[in-house]
């Protein structure tokens, strides 16, 4: 009954979705999921496999102080909204 009166909405654009915490097709398509192949240190995606423990040019030029960093999604229109919602409740 509650879903009928207040249907679950996408956190990105407010479109009605199946359940709380889900994203609509438009927003899901804008999320750039991170994964291999990527820089072994900062996680920057590579367009092709460079071999295990390969690091990007930025890391090689100015070595970060951390050993490894990973993010679920790249920063963008939808993911920045997620970060702001987490930050401001």
Alpha carbons 78 and 72: distance in angstroms, whole number? 13
Place of tokens 């930050």: 87
56 binds Zn ion (CB under 5 A): yes
38 binds Zn ion (CB under 5 A): no
Among 31, 42, 73, 82, binds Zn ion (CB under 5 A): 42
Radius of gyration (C-alpha) of the chain in whole angstroms: 18
Burial class (CB in 10 A: 0-12, 13-18, 19+), 86: exposed
CB of 70 to Zn ion, least distance (A): 11
Question: Stretches 31-39, 46-54, 65-73, 80-88: which one binds Zn ion (CB under 5 A)?
Answer: 31-39
| Total residues interacting with Zn ion, rule: CB under 5 A | 12
């Amino acid at each position: 009954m509650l879903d009928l009166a207040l249907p679950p909405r996408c956190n990105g654009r407010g479109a009605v979705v199946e359940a709380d915490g889900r994203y609509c097709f438009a927003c899901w398509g804008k999320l750039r999921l991170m994964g291999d192949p990527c820089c072994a240190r900062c996680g920057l995606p590579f367009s092709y496999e460079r071999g295990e423990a390969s690091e990007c040019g930025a890391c090689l030029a100015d070595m970060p102080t951390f050993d490894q960093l990973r993010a679920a999604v790249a920063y963008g229109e939808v993911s920045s909204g997620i970060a702001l919602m987490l930050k401001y409740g």
